Amino acid sequence: MDFYFLLFSLFFPRIVMIVFLAIERYPANEVPIWGDILLGVLFPRVLILIYIYQNMGYENVWFIAHMAALLLSYFGGGRSYSRRRRRKRED
């Protein structure tokens, strides 16, 4: 897998998916094209994890880093969630 794909998709998954799809350099995978499009729009981090798993395996530092980013982004690692939680405590 391309180092730049792995690095930039850690921070900007949707943008990287669009760019790599446009230049046709996305990683080799067994996901059907409709799955690539659907997951790329709705859950790009999940699709990237599938790519990493199929090409490099799950015992890779990139897989762990992307899994941590997925968990942080989907389960409250963002600023808006922290603000809501803080505001809720003040009430």
Whole-number Cα distances in Å, 52 to 7, 15, 24, 42, 76: 12, 17, 17, 18, 24
Q: Which structural domain range is residue 46 located in?
A: 3-90
pLDDT for res 61: 92
Q: Contact at 8 Å (CB) between 3 and 60?
A: no
For 13-48, the pLDDT digits (tens) are 889 888 887 887 777 788 888 888 888 888 889 999
pTM beyond 0.85: the answer is no
**Helices and strands, counts by H and E, the chain:** 6, 0
Residue 80 confidence class, pLDDT cut points 50, 70, 90: low
Number of domains in the chain: 1
